[in-house]
Amino acid sequence: MDLDCFFVSAHRTLDKNLEKIPVAVGGRSNLNIFDKKKQVRAISSNSGSFVSSILTDEPNKTFKEYFKDENGRIRGIITTASYEARAYGVKTAMSVNEALQLCPKLLMIPPNYPLYHKLSEALYELLKKEIPLVEQFSIDEFFGDVTGYIEEEEVYEFAKKLKQKIKDELDLPISIGVAHSKYLSKLITEFAKPDGIKYIKKEQMREFIKDIPIENFPGIGKGYASKLKGYAIKTLGDIESKKELFYSWKKPGIDLYNRVCGINDRKLTTSRDKKSIGIGRSFDAIYDRAEILRRVMILCRYLCFLVKKEQVNPLSYAIKIKYEYNIKSKNYVNVNRVFNESDFKLKVKELFIKSDNHPRHGIIQLNLTVYNFANSNYTYNLFEYEEDLKKKELTNKLQALRDKFGIDIIKSASEL
Q: Are 26 and 42 in contact (CB under 8 A)?
A: no
Q: Are 249 and 287 in contact (CB under 8 A)?
A: no
Cα dihedral 251/132/169/48 (nearest 10): -20
Calpha distance 411→363 (Å, rounded): 23
Which DSSP string corresponds to 346-380?
HHHHHHHHHH---TTSPEEEEEEEEEEE--TT---
Residue 415: half-sphere exposure toward Cβ, Cα within 13 Å: 22
**Helix 341-355 and helix 385-405: axis angle, to 10°?**
100
Of the candidates 141, 215, 324, 415, the residue annotated as catalytic is 141
Q: Are 322 and 363 in contact (CB under 8 A)?
A: yes
- State yes or no: cis peptide before 218, omega within 30 of 0: no
DSSP state of 92: T
Phi, then psi, of 91 in degrees rounded to 5: -130, 155
Which DSSP string corresponds to 236-294?
HHHHHTTHHHHHHTHHHHHHHHHHHHT-S-----SS---SEEEEEEEEEEE--HHHHHH
Beta-bridge mates of residue 261? none
Q: Are 309 and 42 in contact (CB under 8 A)?
A: no
Q: Are 100 and 74 in contact (CB under 8 A)?
A: yes
Q: Are 160 and 49 in contact (CB under 8 A)?
A: no
240 classed as catalytic: no
Max intra-chain CA distance, the chain? 67
Active centre residues (catalytic): 141
